[in-house]
Structure 1
Amino acid sequence: MSCRITELVLDCVDVERQARFWAAVLGYVEIGREDDGSIEIGPPQAGFGGLQPTLVLSPGGAPDRGKLPLHLDVNATDRDQDAELERLLALGATPADVGQTGEESWHVLADPEGNEFCLLRSRVAPA
């Protein structure tokens, strides 16, 4: 027996904004809302329990600053890294400095609330 990651939960100040941002980044759609104000987004036609985890944007306080113990890595599916970087910046991502040397093959970015994530170089097949 083993477990599988089915959802990732991100505490947010502005749940709607974060849901729009991450849905656009990942090509996800809204699949549900909870009474507590959470919004769950996931892959179209798959929803919860599919092969890809869903993302739950949950109301929370101001994000903690400093290095997070977990971050997301994303890869483009239909364009090269430079084109995907332009798209993510246009969606509201911002460059983040975590002490990189400039020689890395990835870009460190922050979502609209400052949560860091990395855009890796490889292109992967869509799910």
Structure 2
Amino acid sequence: MACRIGELVLDCRDPELLARFWCEVLDFVVLDREDDGSVEIGTREGFGGPQPTIILSRCDEPEPAKPRLHIDLNATDRDQDAELERLLALGARPADVGQTGDEQWHVLADPEGNEFCLLRARLDPI
């Protein structure tokens, strides 16, 4: 039996802001709010469902160093260019990590600067 990713945890200054952003991006919902300000988001099936949940953990001073983990996204119902437009309209912004311009993906950052990539391949919705 192999392990399975159940949750991803992202330290952030404003969990509510990032919850709104990532819920719109991923079609997730807020599953839980903790007294410490943390917010858990995920699919409507909740924890243990088809995708890992994301815990946005309140941290007044997230580590300034580049995180060692980022999220890769694949559009499900539109092409990469249309999804890029949608993500930018939601508040994502282009991020430069040294790419050449010939990549088949776009590097973006969420409203707090957490980098993620939009890949070219489309996936079937869950």
Query: 1:110: which partner in 2?
Result: 109
Alpha carbons 1:32, 1:40 under 8 Å: kept: yes
| Counterpart residue identity of residue 118, structure 2 | L
Q: Offset of 1:36 from its aligned partner?
A: 1.2
Tell me how far 1:66 sits from its aligned partner. 4.3
SS of the residue 1:123 aligns to: coil
Q: CA offsets, 1:6-63, max 9 Å, x none? A: 000111101110000001000000111111111111112x100112100111101333
Consecutive unaligned residues in structure 1, runs of 5 or more: none
Give the TM-score of the pair, scaled to structure 1. Answer: 0.95
The letter for the 1-side match of 2:8 is: L
Q: Which residue of 1 aligns with 2:32?
A: 32
Worse overlay, 19-28 or 65-74: 65-74
Q: Distance in 2 between matches of 1:108 and 1:34?
A: 31
| TM-score under structure 2 length normalisation | 0.95
Q: Unaligned 5+ residue runs, structure 2?
A: none
Where does structure 1 differ by over 6 angstroms across 4 or more consecutive aligned residues?
none
Count of matched residue positions in the alignment of Structure 1 and Structure 2 = 126
Query: What is the RMSD of the two structures over their aligned residues, measured on CA atoms?
Result: 1.0
SS in 2 for 1:99: coil
Q: Indicate conservation of the 8 Å contact 1:109/1:119, yes or no.
A: yes
Q: Identity of aligned pairs, percent?
A: 70
The residue correspondences of 1:4-43 to structure 2 (distance < 5 A) are: 4-43=4-43
